[in-house]
Amino acid sequence: MAHNDDYILDILLDAGLATRSQIEHARAGATANHRSAVEQIVVDGVLSQEDVSRTLAAHSSMDFVDLSQVSVSPEIIATMPVEFARRYRVVPVANTEAGLVVAISDPLNFETLDSLRFLLKREVELVCATEDQIKAALIKYYGSADDAADELMKQLGGDIDLGSVHLGAEGQAEGDSADAPIIKMVSSMILEAHRLRASDIHIEPLENRLRVRFRIDGVMQEMQNPPKKLQSAIVSRIKIMTGSMSIAEKRLPQDGRIQVKMGKNAVDLRVSTIPCTHGESVVMRILDKTSLMIGMSELGFLSDDQEIFERLVALPDGILLVTGPTGSGKTTTLYACLNYINKPDRKIITVEDPVEYQMTGINQVQVLPEIGMDFPRALRSILRQAPNIIMIGEIRDAETANIAINASLTGHLVLSTLHTNDAPSAVARLVDIGVQPFLVSSSIRAIMAQRLVRKNCANCRAPHEMNESELSALNIDPSQTQLVNVMKGTGCELCRRTGYKGRMGIFEIFLVDDEVRRMVNERSSTIQLRERARQLGMRTLREDGVRKVLSGLTTPDEVITSTMSDAN
């Protein structure tokens, strides 16, 4: 009930159930014990959980239900997916003509009510129950977190390795029985994130609670939150799993890795911790090596763009740049390129910071600035290794850019990324960091900008009629939609009621010809370069997105949101 703590205390005060001194005492104890003031006033014995719940129910004109005296049928339980029940800490208790009756411990949490109505696509009526009764009912009807972990492990055939046992700072083995629940909780969290195709696990310490969120298809989604009192134990367990992070150091950022084997899949977790106001924030980035084996078509290319891009990566020399903001899928695209051109007759060397995925048959170099192994030094060294293809994780400065350009001019194909919003802007970016225009024009073969959009769920997508605002924003003539299938996911169990499952790229490919080279040498503006690119047939990010909307692959909302900066 931390969300509305002060408001709830005022209600209890007005109802005469607690005095001002008792409330102030509870506030002081809550800060010291890392719990909400409402929880503390119950611990102090001033009120019971039922007293608080009945008062809030009456204040909200809501019925109170004693879940310990209620038996809910399996049919009603099935109306609420387990992940929703655990995430929002609610239990369905009855069906009515109007909708679903759901028990909740905090009737003032209107955000939960709105979220449930949206996710379940039906009307929801709330009744109030105590927090302990909600917890007991969740375990009774949905099983415990340990049960969920056991079920996930069973689905993987028991062939799972979440790292070996290490010793903590005190020499105590992490597998000791006292720590078993924490071990199982963290294991369950990692397994669930992998099952849901999450790219990141975020464990965030807030003032009165510990928040766990997964990033799924680029969108953060809050999951079931562990108790605040387990915060230190969970963070320590994760640090121990890396084998390299100190559980005693809580004042400085730390980084580490966890190697996990789930069935036949090898998964790496890149762990980062940083001290915050209320404890250490932990982010675990999930790097699934099976995602490397994707082909060009799985990146989101339509047939014509795929043909152009395959021709570009087959060139013997020159630079191919992939641009876009952080999180736009640039690294995935480069790895897909390497996977496509990784043949026994070619030597490929990469310089990365860090090496995120290890690929068979490719020489990968890790940048280590602390010992002087930076991008320029690594590049100068690998040129003596006589590679055919070089991949540079990112061009960040003039020295790296000039070495990459010189490598391309001496017969190497160079693949790299750059942070710009669109493809033509990459030329100005290179000149701005100190590269001479004649070097840019003579080395760049093509520049591709990209963004990621969520794909319609194949299981629940249905025809969608675009409204006037969508047609106007995407510059689509209504007649264009009559002969195509614009689709939108309606939400189902497979996509967690979002209507989306998976992501794909939208692209703009800027091919460099002799006229573009002349314009670069003359320092023409980005606007002029963009006009020339359009003459050469370049589709903008939004135009490529429109093609995918009209093909039923994604929704207008996704394309509009992802291409807000597009001039078109």
- Residues in the chain, pLDDT under 50: 1-2, 152-153, 155-160, 163-178, 567-568
User: Residue 514's pLDDT is what?
Assistant: 93
pLDDT tens sequence across 8-53:
888 888 888 888 888 888 888 877 776 778 888 888 888 888 888 8
Q: Pairing between strand 100-104 and 348-352?
A: unpaired
Alpha carbons 323 and 65: distance in angstroms, whole number: 56
**If DSSP codes are grouped into helix, strand and coil, which group holds residue 297?**
helix
Q: HEC states along 251-295?
A: CCCEEEEEEEEECCEEEEEEEEEEEECCEEEEEEEEEEHHHHHCC
| Alpha-carbon torsion angle 334, 336, 338, 340, nearest 10 | -140
Which amino acid would we find at residue 445?
A: R
pLDDT tens sequence across 426-456:
999 999 999 999 999 999 999 999 999 999 9
Alpha carbons 158 and 154: distance in angstroms, whole number: 5
In this structure, how many other beta carbons lie within 10 angstroms of the beta carbon of residue 7? 13
User: Residue 547's pLDDT is what?
Assistant: 92
DSSP 162-220: -----B-TTS-BTTSGGGHHHHHHHHHHHHHHHHTTEEEEEEEE-SS-EEEEEEETTEE
Give this prediction's pTM: 0.69
